Amino acid sequence: MAKLRVGVVSPEREIWSGEADMVIAKTVDGEIGIMPQHAPVLGVLVEGGVLRVKRGGGEDDLVAAVHGGFISVADNEVSVLAEAAELGSEVDVAAARDALARAQASVEANQDDADAAVEAKRAKARLQAAGEDV
Amino acid sequence: MGAQLRLLRRRIKSVKSTAKITRAQELIASSRIARAQQRMQAAVPYEREITRAVTGVVSNTGAVDHPLTVVKEKPARAGVLIVTSDSGFCGGYNANILREAEALRGLLEERGLTVVPFVTGRKGVAWHSFRQREMGGQWVGFSRKPAYADAKEIANTLIDAFKDDNGIDEIHIVSTEFVSMLTQNVAVKRVLPLEVEESEAQASETIPPYFEFEPTAGDVLDSLLPRYVESRIFSALLQAAASEEASRRRAMKSATDNANELIRVFTMQMNQARQAEITQEISEIVGGANALADSAAGKE
């Protein structure tokens, strides 16, 4: 079976690139799974989503926290353009927990605090990407 | 004579210490150029992908009808984003940008537009506030190491100003393009309204004729175009940072060379002065001895 060529890039660096069997991302409409021969798609990703790349061949899945951006699929090529992204293995769990606690506290204090809500989502995504329970 | 010698020695000492400083600055700038270039390289994939995505949407939806791409019929106000550096010691870097910005201002005013400058970098901000020009926005503190968040902030301000009905009708950016270590050019580009370049040859190669959108083409465009503007501003900031360090390195190199030349000249003058002093002393002694000898001969 053909493989997907996947690139995960953020404005400041290329996060990861390689081949994979399947890519699962979260768009504003819901989760989307991309397998080889998928029709061309351009989707908007949610803030604080988790991206999962199934590499196959016995390798572990690649998990990344992706904040905003796009996924574009064409010709068995998947590019994930994230405004900010972090591989699960790079996440500083303690810092993310800390950020989550802080953001949740300010959301509780002020329900309209949109920034803090986004911050909480991001922290959650980072923890999920790192394989932690949230 | 003794006074001149002392003076020259003092000047040599001061020029030497200046040379030390400029030499150090030169080395720092050289190492920073490499890092700035790496950052530029790292940003290339994202830029390429986002350009491709925009082209993809455009070639799929045909005519793009979006607030950010609409050319206003009667533009009244133009915004100019001027990218300068935070610190000096970089030769003509800022002067070149500001000169180009002034030229652009002249051109725009000829077309009957009011120009609103948006400035990044302390040098440009100082230049504008000294002339009491009102700025539409100013950002400082990141000229050497711009982060994406900085570009985002600038882009948001510009886009808001552009979307506002009584706001700005077109936005240009004046920044320095990094061509190579030796060549950096000041470039003027129009950012808004967006010109989506639709290169036919490329489109047929890389963009399939049919694209699905999630959720809809309009929504995708709504969030894609601002990102595209951000990415263009980010790339301008990164190039400007690399150019800044390159011109700093060049300026500091010529300053060091000049200082060394001065030291050479002063050392020569000092040696001459010392030699002259010795010669004079000798001729005084000889003259004195001769006079003594003559008077002794006269007595006999």
pLDDT tens per residue, range A23-49: 999 888 888 899 998 888 888 888 888
- To the nearest whole Å, the CA of A27 is away from the closest chain B CA by 7
Predicted local confidence at residue B110, as pLDDT: 92
DSSP A6-21: EEEEETTEEEEEEEES
Between CA B66 and CA B70 the distance in angstroms is: 6
Q: A90-120 pLDDT, tens per residue? A: 888 888 888 888 888 888 777 777 777 778 8
Domain ranges of chain B: 28-252
- Candidate CATH numbers 3.40.50.2300, 3.40.50.300, 3.30.930.10, 3.40.1380.10; the one for domain B28-252: 3.40.1380.10
Between CA B130 and CA A66 the distance in angstroms is: 44
The minimal CB distance from B212 to the residues A11, A40, A69 is found for: A40
A49 touches chain B (CB under 8 A): no
Question: For residue B2, what pLDDT band results from cuts at 50, 70 and 90?
Answer: low
Chains A, B: CB contacts within 8 A come to: 93
Q: B38-90 pLDDT, tens per residue? A: 999 988 888 888 888 887 777 766 656 777 877 877 888 899 999 999 988 88
CA nearest to B41 within chain A: A13
- To the nearest whole Å, the CA of B147 is away from the closest chain A CA by 8
Predicted local confidence at residue B201, as pLDDT: 42
Which residue pairs, CB below 8 angstroms and at least 24 apart, start in A50-53?
A50/A26, A50/A125, A50/A128, A50/A129, A51/A8, A51/A23, A51/A24, A51/A25, A51/A26, A51/A80, A51/A82, A51/A85, A51/A129, A52/A23, A52/A24, A52/A25, A53/A6, A53/A8, A53/A16, A53/A20, A53/A22, A53/A23, A53/A24
% chain B with pLDDT above 70: 92
Predicted local confidence at residue B196, as pLDDT: 62
Of the listed ranges A64-73, A91-100, B280-289, the least confidently predicted one is A91-100
| Single-letter residue type at B165 | D
Domains of chain A: 4-88 (2.60.15.10), 92-129 (no CATH)
Residues of A in contact with B229 (CB under 8 A): none
